[in-house]
A and B are shown apart, each in its own frame.
Chain A
């Protein structure tokens, strides 16, 4: 078992280092701006006195490296400073929105993961049949469509024309859970459509890959019934690829969520990021990017660790 722990620790360490490097990239990228944030905030016409005052206020008179560590130590405890547009605390602005985004992503994942894995396995078992081909064309089409295309189609048909769901996924205080699920159904469905297609294709590929291994043929030649071949011989070896597929697609959800939030005017962190980018509100941009990147890395990390933990060769060393 020592081997496994070592590997996991190594992988975690690597993830931490990558996260650190990314925080450096995110922080110092903003430093590339000619002049500094103060000039960016106040524009070209600002007087030197105003600039100096703002710099003092934002601590810009200190060297970049010092400010980086201040920023980083803040980030560790979720303190990202104040927005330069509204002056409000970044954490307060995006904290609740992040929770909303997580809710939407979880909602989508809760539907997409079981559906796509089951469908992926079925399509893999029916490979080369007409259903497989239809599924191939359908998933390719879904993958190729931009999220806003799917989103607007859903709005047009399920909200505007039939009125089954609201077109705008606004949230209110004190909504009950059923209402919440109903209001956020369309954005979640959009995400589900995109992610399911990806996940199904990847599941199909990894299952087919697995089914062509000699030990599966051996199991068949031992007279094992088909369901048992899948459950006993394929599945224990399929965990690693399946975990990988799930984690990769959850990571993909994070990116997709930005566009979907904008389409459905959903109060999530993605929309906050887009607003901040167009208003050039750098503390918010930095905070949102760091949060997105950290989630992304965490998911990839989970996939790798999962793969390590389910590998029989590592679980039972020589």
Chain B
């Protein structure tokens, strides 16, 4: 692909302000962007970098409560900041299209997919209804949607998330635009579904030689999709370079730090050989929510003292339910949980104070895990006071000690409230609260998935250090295999409420795998820009995602071999 073709979109000194607390504050502080025809540019940055706002601005669109000031946005020779509303509207849908993050929320629930698809072509009188519908089916087929002839006649709630995201890409293509803005199109999807959507998007953008702006926070994803990458930080550009150059040779410190994230790896621990019983032992557990289907089906695994067991699986695989069974929030319908060889009362209300103390939990969303109206000193101090009966100066010393332990300056944080802290700091407070109970076992439920990568790495290092110092056992629930690689000692893979495979980490990451583990592992994007191409060549385009998991043969010899 020749790079220096006509310029399609030229943005100079983009400044966007948002209205908050009665004043206008800058969100985007002067970003330049040049996009050529047929070029795919990846916008990457952490949350709050302003990627999505820039994406909307490319269409001359400012969301409610934001405004574009003193900038030039030139699309194919037309200045969007001064253009009339109707001129801008005439571009949208026909020459610039948008693919939103949540397809489920962005399709109108009252209309069939195909009616929403054909709305723009009919609006611009590009096609007649029948032609537009046929074109839609063709696009559905190109995007490898099942039943392309029929799927468009369904309502959005009747179609799965990954399929909706592809239908939305098809809708964006309906007028064959010059530019498509993809706003985190795969962030809400599972890895195995993500790969289907990624390959479909890439192929169709290639086929029609459409220019695209691909917004994401995931470096590995952007490496597959983009020709050039622009890195953003807090509304400002850090650097821009062609994808390969950027991956091989990042210039700025910030970019380097982003690239270096996945470096951390904790040495793998082995199970004790002296016959110590497992700390937590889940035995043949079945569980279901009131009146619902079985969510867990015969789940068994052990967690030994001082070790980390990572429970991996996609959404709906039952990993969080397993945690609820262990903590006693959801008594199992069959089977039991043993603690140091003794049965644990199934309902947390029947557990003794000491049993409750032993087993603590750290949550995914630090925002909802900390009471916003309670001071840090009380959040951390309460478990210490509650379990150990500490009071006065002893309690304060203990809180200081805990704050030291999580690497926060006690004097500075003691009297503050959670909303004043950053995401990473909140997560550290969550850890301190768990530690305050002096537990032996901590459930970590997706503790890093809501955090930016650098911060997440800091949390992982902290957890690893604490584990060594305090001999803690972790059950680490995650869908992110990179996290598993860095911190786990043993891995349990779950699918549809069943354990499909389990074992020490090094074994789990070397073949032969259970086919599902294999699918899961191979679906995780890597930093290599050729990864998707190679993978699709190896597996075949029809052997990824849902199609592949449907194909897993229960009688595969690897299944019986590996899960023993």
Q: Measuring CB to CB, which residues of chain A are less than 8 angstroms from any residue of chain B?
A: 212-215, 217-225, 228, 232-233, 236-237, 312-313, 316, 318
Contact = CB atoms under 8 A, between A and B. Distances in A.
B119 A214 contact: no
A110 B91 CA distance: 43
B123 A316 contact: no
A313 B63 CA distance: 28
Nearest to A221: B98
B187 interface: no
A224 B98 CA distance: 13
B111 interface: yes
Interface string B111-128: 100000001100110000
B59 A221 contact: yes
Given A215-B107, A232-B119, A236-B108, 17 more contacts: A217-B100, A218-B98, A218-B108, A220-B61, A221-B56, A222-B92, A222-B123, A223-B91, A223-B120, A223-B124, A232-B111, A237-B108, A237-B109, A237-B110, A312-B110, A313-B109, A316-B157
B105 A214 contact: yes
Contacts, number: 78
A318 B157 contact: yes
Nearest to B111: A236
A44 B59 CA distance: 84
Given A221-B92, A223-B89, A223-B92, A316 B155 contact: yes
A223 B110 contact: no
Contacts of A318: 157-158
Interface string B61-91: 1011000000000000000000000000111
A228 B97 CA distance: 18
Interface string B93-111: 1100110101001111111
Given A220-B61, A222-B120, A213 B93 contact: no
A69 B59 CA distance: 70
Contacts of A212: 64
A228 B108 CA distance: 13
A226 to B, nearest CB: 9
B61 to A, nearest CB: 6
B119 A222 contact: yes
Contacts of A220: 61, 92
Contacts of A233: 108, 110
A222 B97 contact: yes
Nearest to B109: A312
Interface in B163-189: 171
B100 A214 contact: yes
B158 A224 contact: no
B89 A214 contact: no
Interface of B: 56, 59, 61, 63-64, 89-94, 97-98, 100, 102, 105-111, 119-120, 123-124, 154-155, 157-158, 171
Contacts of B111: 232, 236
Contacts of A219: 108, 119
A237 B155 CA distance: 14
A220 B119 CA distance: 12
A318 B155 CA distance: 9
A77 B92 CA distance: 62
B106 A218 contact: yes
Contacts of B171: 222
Contact of B106 (A214, A223, A237): A214
Q: Which 8 A-B pairs give the minimum distances between C-beta atoms?
A: A223-B93, A223-B92, A236-B110, A222-B93, A214-B105, A221-B98, A218-B106, A214-B106
Contact of B61 (A215, A221, A228, A316): A221
A238 to B, nearest CB: 10
Contacts of A316: 154-155, 157-158
A223 B87 CA distance: 10
Contacts of A312: 109-110, 155, 157
A31 B62 CA distance: 66
A313 B108 CA distance: 11
A220 B157 CA distance: 21
Given A213-B105, A214-B105, A318-B157, A223 B123 contact: yes
Contacts of B90: 223
A113 B120 CA distance: 34
A223 B98 CA distance: 10
B109 A225 contact: no
Nearest to B101: A214
Given A224-B119, A224-B123, A218 B157 contact: no
A184 B329 CA distance: 62
B64 A218 contact: no
Contacts of B92: 220-223
Contacts of B59: 221
A240 to B, nearest CB: 11
Nearest to A239: B110
A225 B90 CA distance: 9
Contacts of A223: 89-94, 120, 123-124
A223 B59 CA distance: 10
13 contacts: A213-B105, A214-B105, A215-B105, A217-B106, A219-B108, A220-B61, A221-B61, A223-B90, A223-B124, A224-B119, A232-B111, A236-B111, A316-B157
A229 to B, nearest CB: 10
Contacts of A217: 63, 100, 106
A218 B116 CA distance: 10
A207 B271 CA distance: 60
B157 A224 contact: no
Contacts of B100: 214, 217-218
B171 to A, nearest CB: 8
A305 to B, nearest CB: 18
